[in-house]
Structure 1
Amino acid sequence: MSHLYNLAIIGAGPAGIATAVEGYLQGIRDIVLLEKDQNHNSTIRKYYKDNKRVDKDWKGQKVELDGRIYFVDGTKETTLDFFDEILDHHSVELQTHVEVQSIEKKENFFEVFMAGKSVRAKNVVVTIGRMGKPNKPSYKIPSGIKKKVGYTLDDCSEGEKILVVGGGDSAVEYAVDLSEKNDVAICYRRETFRRANPTNQTNIANAIMHKEVRPILGIDIDGLEDVDGKVKVIFNDMENEIFDRVIYAIGGTTPSAFLASSGIEEADGKPVHDDNYETNIKGMFVAGDITQESGGSIALGLNHGYAIACYIQGGDQIPSD
């Protein structure tokens, strides 16, 4: 008989960590946090540029924190340090490099399946972020240039001609950041960057005004071609152009296949849940940006974790066997 946890949490981002820590502070013990990457908060590590501002009131959305995790404005680095510290000070088991494949409801517990092993728990919380599955273009990327097409800045070098595709905060930040040492253009299907926050709108406007970033606005991309290892971009309403690298920053997708395989119902592209973030399956919860229209608010994720922890400790749990 394998060990039975009181709480298993899938995804070690802000919502997952908050659920674990708030659960511990509520008196729940035997908590395991399952993360597919090598460390917690992989989205922040991968998709936030160095020294990126991280605001509690994301996109100006005022959120009062409900729980006992006191989160304040900072940077990418201070935010990661903050989550390091609260994990270090609470007895939560963090398992990394474990990608959850499915969750199965048994009579008196859940079994969480990973490659080569599984864990059992009385309650399960799914906090997989949308950016765990970044949106990709609908057209095929030729095999010869796949290493020249990315979704983060990880493989970028200096002195490259780079096209950034997207109009949100990440796209704008990537373009401005890369423009310091590269020839950068940004392509967005709309005429303005209204999705970006005011600071980023100002930054991209200044970069365009000073000819540091070249705008390609109101234009869609029909496809990519491999030209001697470089990326030829096929625009739908302007002359095609060749780039050394293309970076897509076009958001993320709800992990619908995973949710469906675990029996979680969806509506309008989001998992169905009640006011306690409990899904249609009793004892299985969702938290974080997969529950939000546009995602991204750390403060809301922290509040989700607090609400779930309070409900599990005070509400009706799945009985132990």
Structure 2
Amino acid sequence: MEKIHNLVIVGAGPAGIATAVESYILGIRDIVVLEKDENHNATIRKYYKENKRVDKDWKGQKVELDGNIYFMDGTKESTLDFFDEIIAYHSVELRTHTEVQKILKKEGHFDVMIPGGSIKARYVVVTIGRMGKPNKPDYKIPPSIRKRVNYTLDECSEGEKVLVVGGGDSAVEYAVDLAEKNSVTICYRRETFRRANPTNQTAIANAIAHGEVRPYLGVNIEGLEEDNGKVRVLFSEREAETFDRIVYAIGGTTPSAFLQGSGIRIEEGKPVHDENYMTDVPGLYVAGDITQESGGSIALGLNHGYAIAQHIMEHMKVCEGCKQSIVK
């Protein structure tokens, strides 16, 4: 018979890792974490610039940690090192390059569908983040310039004329970072960068004051066109302008199609769950920023993992005959 794992976790961000670690500490074994990218915490790796501050109290949200993972303020690098250590110390089985297509409820277990087959589990926790599906503009992007339209800084090089679109922390950080070796303009539909944290508001104000970043505030984009291999941007409130590259930093979207396809109800753009983060499907949980209004808080994700582990342990029926296979 095909093996049934006690717990499968979809997504290796803070909430997913916390669920695995807290469950392991409680004595649950046979836990698998599935991650579609090449390593854990893909959002931090892709969307955080080098040496970016990572605060426990994200956007001023003061969160008391409930579980066994003691997370402190740090940088992108120290945060990734921290999660490397706890994954190794608690023997977390992490399977990367494994994208989950759907979760099916069966009699007594779940089938977690992956390319070429499925993984069976008694309990499943979905902790995929919004940034796994970054927001894209409503207007069409011509195929000929798609390589010049990005959502991270991975493709950026030096000496380019770059337009950054957005007004949150990521957009501001991208603009300030790129301005060191590029000609940068930041375009935001509002008049101020009030969504950004105070540190980033100061940084962008300084960059603008010193002429390092041009601000196009209160400006909307109507569309993009090709201009000799470059990106011609059509603005509503000003003349069109051509850039070497455009970087969108306009947030992420709840992966509603995947969640609904797995039987998870969506209301007001978020998955429905109870106080234990269990969905309408018994044994199927959600955690992390897809459950949060603004998303992004690592501390809240860690607390979600702790609460879910406690709830699973309380409801895991362990008979004498199968005890060794569940708690070893």
User: Which residue in the other structure is 1:284 paired with?
Assistant: 284
Provide, for residues 13-38 of structure 1, a one-character-per-residue CA deviation record: whole Å limited to 9, x for no partner: 00000000000001110000000001
Q: Distance in 2 between matches of 1:191 and 1:61?
A: 25
- 1:59-98 counterparts in 2 under 5 A? 59-98=59-98
Provide, for residues 35-55 of structure 1, a one-character-per-residue CA deviation record: whole Å limited to 9, x for no partner: 000100011000000000000
Residue 300 of structure 1 deviates from its aligned partner by: 0.2
Relative to structure 1, the CA distance from residue 318 to residue 176 in structure 2 (aligned partners, 3 Å threshold; closer, same or farther) is farther
Residue 318 of structure 1 deviates from its aligned partner by: 11
User: Which residue in the other structure is 1:245 paired with?
Assistant: 245
Residue 73 of structure 1 deviates from its aligned partner by: 0.3
Q: Distance in 1 between matches of 2:53 and 2:195?
A: 17
Q: Distance in 2 between matches of 1:149 and 1:287?
A: 31
1:287–1:301 contact (8 Å) kept in structure 2: yes
User: Which residue in the other structure is 2:6 paired with?
Assistant: 6
User: Which residue in the other structure is 1:37 paired with?
Assistant: 37
- 1:16-31 counterparts in 2 under 5 A? 16-31=16-31
User: Which residue in the other structure is 1:270 paired with?
Assistant: 270
Q: Distance in 1 between matches of 2:280 and 2:211?
A: 52
Q: Distance in 1 between matches of 2:170 and 2:12?
A: 21
1:30–1:92 contact (8 Å) kept in structure 2: no
User: Which residue in the other structure is 1:103 paired with?
Assistant: 103
1:11–1:128 contact (8 Å) kept in structure 2: yes
User: Which residue in the other structure is 2:325 paired with?
Assistant: none
Q: Which amino acid aligns with 1:206?
A: N
- C-alpha RMSD of matched pairs (Å): 1.1
Q: Distance in 1 between matches of 2:316 and 2:42?
A: 33
1:235 and 2:235 equivalent?
yes
Q: Distance in 2 between matches of 1:63 and 1:315?
A: 27
Q: Distance in 1 between matches of 2:236 and 2:315?
A: 55
1:149–1:247 contact (8 Å) kept in structure 2: yes
Q: Secondary structure at the match of 2:87?
A: helix
Q: Which runs of 5+ in 2 are unaligned?
A: 323-328
Q: Tell me how many residue pairs correspond in the alignment.
A: 320
User: Which residue in the other structure is 1:223 paired with?
Assistant: 223
User: Which residue in the other structure is 1:154 paired with?
Assistant: 154
Q: Which amino acid aligns with 1:185?
A: T
- 1:195-234 counterparts in 2 under 5 A? 195-234=195-234
Q: Secondary structure at the match of 1:225?
A: strand
Q: Secondary structure at the match of 2:222?
A: strand
TM-score, with structure 2 as normaliser? 0.96
Residue 316 of structure 1 deviates from its aligned partner by: 5.2
Q: Distance in 2 between matches of 1:290 and 1:119?
A: 23
1:122–1:317 contact (8 Å) kept in structure 2: no
Q: Which amino acid aligns with 1:255?
A: P
- 1:107-118 counterparts in 2 under 5 A? 107-118=107-118
1:109–1:318 contact (8 Å) kept in structure 2: no
Q: Distance in 2 between matches of 1:116 and 1:173?
A: 40
Relative to structure 1, the CA distance from residue 124 to residue 210 in structure 2 (aligned partners, 3 Å threshold; closer, same or farther) is same
Provide, for residues 164-213 of structure 1, a one-character-per-residue CA deviation record: whole Å limited to 9, x for no partner: 00000000000000000000000000000000000000000000011100
Q: Secondary structure at the match of 2:253?
A: coil
Q: Which amino acid aligns with 2:314?
A: G
Residue 117 of structure 1 deviates from its aligned partner by: 2.0
1:122–1:318 contact (8 Å) kept in structure 2: no
Q: Which amino acid aligns with 1:87?
A: I
Provide, for residues 241-289 of structure 1, a one-character-per-residue CA deviation record: whole Å limited to 9, x for no partner: 0000000000000000000100000111000000000000000000000
Residue 317 of structure 1 deviates from its aligned partner by: 5.9
TM-score, with structure 1 as normaliser? 0.98
Q: Which amino acid aligns with 2:95?
A: Q
User: Which residue in the other structure is 1:123 paired with?
Assistant: 123
Residue 294 of structure 1 deviates from its aligned partner by: 1.0
Residue 237 of structure 1 deviates from its aligned partner by: 1.1
User: Which residue in the other structure is 1:169 paired with?
Assistant: 169
User: Which residue in the other structure is 1:133 paired with?
Assistant: 133
1:164–1:248 contact (8 Å) kept in structure 2: yes
Q: Secondary structure at the match of 2:101?
A: strand
